[in-house]
């Protein structure tokens, strides 16, 4: 089917935005991305109600520390924990840019949400980001009692590069004997960094994720492209996908990463992992962020949050 009419309007508007010169530094791109999020975020992404408590935590990691923003829902007893990993090609993205989404998840699924500000490439190349995310998960579990959530019920999610990291953390947790994760929610995941899935080239540029950008972010993230098939870089290449948490996977029809999600869902299913997956017709890579403007994007978000709530509360 063609682009959804409302999606088509957003694509046209965003393609017309001045994103600065092509040779902009990564610092300039981050500033531009954050500015666009500040201006447009409240207009396009639905925002959940204020949490009962919100605080930024300093979490030690190998070689330094990172910030984890914790959202606690209203209610008396300790809520389950959901770890959220933002997208941005492993090079962009901030906690503030996904504050609205984290609030929505926390209130909708009645869970604590821990949004991880992992270190970004190219300054901190692979495997820094997944190691940061795993270290944050372990630290959160170790401090669950004092922070006020139930670490026996854990979910994890991410979008795009963040979905890659969420899938990798699930592999790490299995390989390193914990913590136990009940549910992985992967939106438009990048799980094959060889970029060999058919949609990478069959979906044309101009749908808010172009091939040149994908390749540049991959180069910045990996540094050494010889590592692109390592399982903690490309989860699809893991020799064994058994024993991983049940998965919820979303892809979009007009997304170059569409077939990454489809292939990972098939591989997990073959390995005996319960999977619920869907491809949103007429949608593009960042459609998860358009929940104020597009009813079908809002409906998808509600379905995904309901699945998370079911996994964490049953």
Determine the average pLDDT of the residues in 86-114: 97
The pTM for the full model equals 0.97
Spatial separation of the C-alpha atoms in residues 173 and 178, rounded to whole Å: 4
Determine the average pLDDT of the residues in 122-130: 98
Neighbours of 314 (CB within 10 A): 7
Q: Which of 265, 249, 244, 239 is nearest to 173 (CA)?
A: 244
Domain that holds residue 96: 5-17+24-313
Q: Which of 95, 113, 45, 94 is nearest to 308 (CA)?
A: 113
What pLDDT is attached to residue 19?
Answer: 62
- Main-chain dihedrals φ then ψ at residue 258, nearest 5 degrees: -50, -50
Determine the average pLDDT of the residues in 205-229: 96
| Per-residue confidence band for 1, with pLDDT thresholds at 50, 70 and 90 | confident
Model confidence pLDDT, tens digit, residues 19-31: 666 678 888 889 8
DSSP track, 113-153: EEEEEPPPTTTS-TTHHHHHHHHHHHHHHHTHHHHTEEEEE
What pLDDT is attached to residue 24?
Answer: 82
| Mean pLDDT of all residues belonging to the chain | 95
Spatial separation of the C-alpha atoms in residues 155 and 251, rounded to whole Å: 19
Model confidence pLDDT, tens digit, residues 152-205: 999 999 999 999 999 999 999 999 999 999 999 999 999 999 999 999 999 999
Quick one: the chain helix, strand, coil %, rounded to 5?
Answer: 45, 20, 35
Catalytic residue ranges = 160, 255, 285
**Is 80 exceeded by the pLDDT of residue 84?**
yes
What pLDDT is attached to residue 18?
Answer: 62
Count of domains for the chain: 1
Spatial separation of the C-alpha atoms in residues 73 and 95, rounded to whole Å: 18
| Per-residue confidence band for 40, with pLDDT thresholds at 50, 70 and 90 | low
Instruction: Assign residue 265 the CATH number of its domain.
Output: 3.40.50.1820
């Amino acid at each position: 089917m063609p682009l959804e009419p409302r999606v088509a309007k957003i694509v046209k508007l965003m393609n017309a935005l001045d994103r600065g010169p092509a040779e902009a530094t990564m610092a300039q791109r981050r500033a531009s991305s954050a500015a666009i999020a500040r201006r447009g975020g409240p207009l396009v992404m639905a925002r959940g109600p204020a949490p009962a408590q919100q605080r930024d935590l300093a979490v030690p990691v190998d070689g330094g520390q990172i910030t984890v923003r914790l959202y606690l829902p209203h209610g008396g007893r300790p809520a389950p924990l959901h770890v959220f990993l933002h997208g941005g090609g492993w090079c962009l993205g901030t906690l503030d840019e996904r504050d609205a989404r984290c609030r929505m998840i926390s209130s909708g699924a009645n869970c604590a949400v821990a949004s991880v500000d992992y270190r970004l490439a190219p300054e901190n190349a692979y495997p820094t980001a997944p190691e940061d995310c795993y270290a944050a998960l372990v630290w959160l579990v170790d401090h669950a009692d004092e922070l006020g959530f139930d670490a026996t019920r854990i979910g994890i999610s991410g979008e795009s590069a963040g979905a890659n990291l969420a899938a990798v953390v699930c592999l790490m947790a299995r390989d390193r004997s914990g913590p136990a994760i009940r549910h992985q929610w992967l939106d438009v995941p990048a799980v094959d960094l060889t970029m060999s899935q058919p949609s990478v080239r069959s979906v044309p540029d101009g749908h808010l994720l172009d091939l040149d950008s994908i390749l540049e972010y991959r180069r910045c993230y990996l540094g050494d492209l010889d590592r692109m098939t390592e399982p903690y870089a490309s989860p699809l290449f893991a020799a064994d996908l058994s024993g991983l948490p049940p998965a919820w996977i979303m892809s979009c029809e007009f997304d170059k990463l569409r077939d990454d999600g489809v292939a990972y869902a098939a591989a997990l299913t073959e390995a005996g992992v319960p999977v619920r997956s869907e491809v949103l017709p007429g949608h593009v890579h960042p459609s998860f962020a358009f929940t104020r403007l597009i009813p079908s994007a809002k409906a998808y978000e509600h379905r995904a949050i309901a699945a998370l709530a079911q996994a964490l509360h049953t």
